[in-house]
Amino acid sequence: MLLRDSFGGNSCTTVVINVASEAEHVEETRCTLSFGERMAVVRNTPTLVVAATQAASIKSAEAIKTALQLARTQLADLAVAGKAGGIVKTAPPSEQRSLLEGMSRLEKAQTQVNNKLPPFGVSSLH
């Protein structure tokens, strides 16, 4: 009864039967051999687990696509509300100019980092 769940479904079970040749263990050996005979006829029908995994993957992919579509919709809503980043057309010209200058400085600094150039105003010590 303890092993009932181990002999069905997707399980793969090996049973090893140990017996003793001493006369004092005859009854235990007989019970063990009887158990072994019963286990020898147990056959499982394999279950295709891959199909279940593929179905779960398909559901997961569909959930991701749905979440992506929702995120795109939310991003579009933010853009309409002027909260999507970038330059807000209704912002004062001085703020727009300041943002563009900051973005330009950031891009130059990123290029220097990528090219391992010394920062602005620092000369190389070669």
Q: Dump pLDDT digits (tens) for 15-46.
A: 888 888 898 989 999 999 998 888 888 777 76
Query: What pLDDT, on the 0 to 100 scale, is given for residue 13?
Result: 76
**Residue 125: inside a domain:** no
**Residue 104: inside a domain:** yes
For residues 112 and 121, the answer to whether their CB atoms sit within 8 Å is no
pTM of the model as a whole: 0.33
Query: What pLDDT, on the 0 to 100 scale, is given for residue 28?
Result: 92
Among 24, 49, 19, smallest CA distance to 34 is for 19
What's the domain count of the chain?
3
For residues 32 and 19, the answer to whether their CB atoms sit within 8 Å is yes
Are 114 and 91 members of one domain?
A: yes
Domain of 104 in residue numbering reads as: 86-119
Q: How confident is the model at residue 90 (pLDDT cuts 50, 70, 90)?
A: confident
Among 48, 35, 47, smallest CA distance to 3 is for 35
